[in-house]
Amino acid sequence: MESNTLKSMSIDELWNLHEQVSSLLARRISEEKTRLEERLRKIETASDIVKLDRERRPYPKVLPKYQNPKNPAEIWSGRGKQPRWFKAQLKAGKKPEHFLIDRSSNQRRGVGQ
The 10s digit of each residue's pLDDT in 98-108 is 999 987 754 54
The pLDDT of residue 112 is: 46
Give domain limits for the chain. Answer: 3-53, 66-109
In sequence order, the 6+-apart residues with CB closer than 8 A to the CB of 75 are 64, 66, 67, 68, 101
Dihedral sign from CA coordinates of 49, 50, 52, 53: positive
Work out the pLDDT band at 110, boundaries 50, 70, 90: very low
The pLDDT of residue 1 is: 62
Above 70 in pLDDT, residue 60?
yes
Nearest partner of 76 among 105, 109, 104, 99, judged by Cα: 99
Work out the pLDDT band at 33, boundaries 50, 70, 90: very high
